[in-house]
Amino acid sequence: MAKLTIADLKKIKEKVHAEMSLRDGERRVKITVHMGTCGIASGAREVLDTLLQEIAEAKINDIVVTTSGCMGLCSREPLVTVEILNQDPIKYEYMNPNKIRQVFKRHVLDGEIQLPFVLARGAEITK
Amino acid sequence: MLELASHILDIAENSVRAGASLIEIDIDEDTANDSLSIEIIDNGRGMKQEEMEKVLDPFYTTKTVRRFGLGIPLLADAARRAGGHFKLESQEGKGTTVKATFGLSHMDRQPMGNIISTLIVLIAGNSDVDFFLKHRHNDRRSELDTRIIRKEIEDVPINHPEILKYIRGVLEEGFSEIKPEA
């Protein structure tokens, strides 16, 4: 396989530019994977990596993925917060690659909250 | 923590929380000296002397949501168990450097694990921070600098799936060239 070069990056940029002009840049969903020591130790990295691959496969551009620190519920990690525009955030507990695939396909894409995995609805309040 | 790549992710996340804009990760495998060293250098807000003395204490944390902070103690312990050392340098307002060394062939050294996944997760989750990975295995080297990529892609976000795919490809190529032992 030919080596990846800066020239490849230019091609990708042009391709992404062409696609971007066709869509509006609205962000519909924000997904936060909690990446504290506790999250990392219980598999948050694999959860986020799986999520990134699912997003790439689905070829959608209106999702922002980000990480945050520990929120004090270490025993329920990996935790993932899904925020869909104009809806309450949903926190999912004990995530793993298979569960996040299900949450992505059913909740993020189809809008059905995956109740068996839900920890809470709403945002946490930090003191 | 079962692999060194998880420790790297954890320490780099500390750097992100310390407001770093550039995080350098140096991995150095030296067969002749039987040593593996991992260094994470950030330009975050740094620590005061009193804070530095406390970071190895598992019951010290700056967070308010819980009463313990295990990231650094776990890495220091992993190094100690594998015949290595842990060193922390920090200057308030300048940044922090965390260095851990391990016996490369030591029986109790944790495996490196998936360093590519660690980098991708760091870049995707912290798109406003730059990362510079330097991976050396004896005389073979591989590097990835997100500052160079960022300059090239202009207004395309670095966490765009196509860009992440490119970065993953570059990391995989570098990896197969240097053939790490760890």
Alpha carbons A70 and B62: distance in angstroms, whole number:
12
Scan residues 18-47 of B and list those with Cβ closer than 8 Å to A: none
Supply the pLDDT for residue A20. Answer: 72
pLDDT tens-digit series, residues A50-63: 999 999 999 888 89
What share of chain B has pLDDT > 90, as a percent? 80
Supply the pLDDT for residue B63. Answer: 82
Could you tell me if A75 and A34 are in contact, meaning their C-beta atoms sit under 8 angstroms apart?
A: no
Q: Looking at beta carbons, which residues of chain A come within 8 Å of B165?
A: 56
B132 bridge partner residues: B24, B145
Q: Which residues of A33-44 are buried (b: 16+ CB within 10 A; e: fewer)?
A: bbbbbbbbbbbb
Nearest-Cα residue of chain B relative to residue A14: B153
| Top-confidence range, A16-20, B60-64, B166-170 | B166-170
Nearest to A15 among B149, B159, B162 (CB): B162
pLDDT tens-digit series, residues B76-128: 999 999 999 999 999 999 999 999 999 999 999 999 999 999 999 999 999 99
Supply the pLDDT for residue A21. Answer: 64
In angstroms, the separation between the Cα of residue B94 and the nearest Cα of chain A is: 22
Alpha carbons A19 and B31: distance in angstroms, whole number:
47
Q: How many domains does chain B have?
A: 1
Contact of B166 with chain A, judged by CB distance below 8 Å, is answered with yes
Q: In the predicted model, is pLDDT for residue B66 greater than 90?
A: no
Cα A11 to Cα A63, B120, B155: the distances in Å are 23, 21, 14
Supply the pLDDT for residue B59. Answer: 85
Where in the sequence is the domain holding B89, given as residue range(s)? 4-178
Q: In the predicted model, is pLDDT for residue A17 greater than 90?
A: no
Residue B43 exposure: Cα atoms within 13 Å on the Cβ side: 8
Q: List, in order of start, the domains of chain A with CATH numbers.
A: 26-121 (3.40.30.10)
CB pairs under 8 A between A and B: 100
CATH number at B8 reads: 3.30.565.10
Output A5 or A79, whichever has higher pLDDT: A79
Mean pLDDT across the stretch B5-27? 95
Residue with tokens 């922090």: B96
Could you tell me if A107 and A89 are in contact, meaning their C-beta atoms sit under 8 angstroms apart?
A: no
Alpha carbons B46 and A125: distance in angstroms, whole number:
27
Question: Is there a cis peptide before residue A78, judged by omega within 30 degrees of 0?
Answer: yes
Distant-in-sequence contacts of B73-78, Cβ < 8 A, 24+ apart: B74/A37, B74/B1, B74/B7, B74/B10, B75/B1, B75/B7, B75/B10, B75/B11, B75/B100, B76/B100, B78/B1, B78/B4, B78/B7, B78/B102, B78/B110
Q: In the predicted model, is pLDDT for residue A77 greater than 80?
A: yes
Could you tell me if B153 and B163 are in contact, meaning their C-beta atoms sit under 8 angstroms apart?
A: yes
Supply the pLDDT for residue A125. Answer: 63
Torsion of CA B158, A67, B174, B103, to 10 degrees: 150
In angstroms, the separation between the Cα of residue B48 and the nearest Cα of chain A is: 22
Q: In the predicted model, is pLDDT for residue B69 greater than 90?
A: no
Q: Give the confidence band of A126 by pLDDT, cuts at 50, 70, 90.
A: low
In angstroms, the separation between the Cα of residue B33 and the nearest Cα of chain A is: 30
Contact of A14 with chain B, judged by CB distance below 8 Å, is answered with no
Contact of B145 with chain A, judged by CB distance below 8 Å, is answered with no
Distance in Å from the first CA to the final CA of chain A: 53
Nearest-Cα residue of chain B relative to residue A68: B125
Q: Angle at which helices B115-125 and B161-178 pack, to 10 degrees?
A: 150
Alpha carbons A77 and A92: distance in angstroms, whole number:
9
Q: Do A40 and B9 touch (CB under 8 A)?
A: yes
Q: Do A36 and B13 touch (CB under 8 A)?
A: yes
**Full DSSP string of A10-74:** HHHHHHHHHHHTTS-----EEEEEE-SHHHHHTTHHHHHHHHHHHHHHHT--SEEEEEE---S-G
Q: In the predicted model, is pLDDT for residue A121 greater than 60?
A: yes
Alpha carbons B174 and B133: distance in angstroms, whole number:
11
Could you tell me if B10 and A37 are in contact, meaning their C-beta atoms sit under 8 angstroms apart?
A: yes
